[in-house]
Amino acid sequence: MDQETTREFQKKPKMDGFDRDIWSIFKVMGEFVEGYDKLFQIGPCISIFGSARTKPDEPYYKLAVETADKITQKGFGIITGGGPGIMEAGNRGAEQAGGKSVGLGISLPFEQGTNQYVNPDFTINFNYFFVRKVMFVKYAQGFVVFPGGFGTLDELFESLTLIQTRKIDRIPIILFGSEYWEGLVDWMERTMKQNGTISEQDTDLFHITDSTDETVDIICDFYSKKEPMPNFYF
């Protein structure tokens, strides 16, 4: 942009854009208030992440249903993104076990509403990904991460970063499906550690398993020594 163009741009009234920015702050605040109000009342939950593209006849879908069922039987609710695939499987397992099935939906052009297994009383829809992620991290007492794409990795690394930097207390993070995750973990070991971009102990922040029973045991063992509490120090 040359100087003349810059001057012309600066002369243009900006109130319309400014007003939109100000009103967007109130929209963000409203989503935080609704999320805090509703999720605080639900109680301890475990979040299940994974691909929205996983079909009901695929093994990981069935394992996610089984995992959620078993976790729910231990007294935890299940929080998912409320969509299809692994999210649907998590909510399905919670519902069939008679537990709390929570869906934190996001407005997207290619996903329509929350899945049928989310309890309508525990449904919240968000416009902003970052607000939704705060709700996951603040109100989930553990993460079970099934194979997924960019969104799943985003949520995984967000939680690992917050624990690593001590913005939240340590909570169980479980990568389910060793065959899927081994390439990523190997890259952490061989590339990130060798280049000094993470510490030697940072890979101790998560577990890898292929067992639904081991997943439940990791969570229950952790909370046999600690009371579940909301996260974030603010």
Asked if residue 229 is part of any domain, the answer here is no
Asked if residue 40 is part of any domain, the answer here is yes
Asked if residue 71 is part of any domain, the answer here is yes
Cα Rg, the chain, nearest whole Å? 20
Asked if residue 231 is part of any domain, the answer here is no
The tens digit of pLDDT for each residue in 37-86 reads 888 888 899 999 999 999 999 999 999 999 999 999 999 999 999 999 99
The tens digit of pLDDT for each residue in 131-187 reads 989 898 888 999 999 999 999 999 999 999 999 999 999 999 999 999 999 999 999
Q: Picking from 3-17, 96-110, 150-164, which range would have the lowest pLDDT averaged per residue?
A: 3-17
Give the mean model confidence (pLDDT) for residues 103-126.
Answer: 85
Asked if residue 19 is part of any domain, the answer here is yes
Structure tokens at 230: 């909301």
Structural domain count, the chain: 1
Alpha helices (H) along the chain: 3-11, 15-40, 59-73, 86-96, 129-139, 150-164, 178-187, 212-223
Asked if residue 233 is part of any domain, the answer here is no
Confidence of residue 233 (pLDDT cuts 50, 70, 90): very low
Could you give the CA distance from residue 178 to residue 199 in angstroms, rounded to a whole number?
Answer: 22
Structure tokens at 133: 């992620």
Higher model confidence: residue 144 or residue 28?
Answer: 144
Domain of residue 81, CATH code: 3.40.50.450
Say if residues 117 and 102 touch (Cβ distance below 8 Å).
no
Range of the domain at 111: 3-223
Asked if residue 230 is part of any domain, the answer here is no
Closest CA to 81 of 43, 141, 142, 133: 133
Asked if residue 228 is part of any domain, the answer here is no
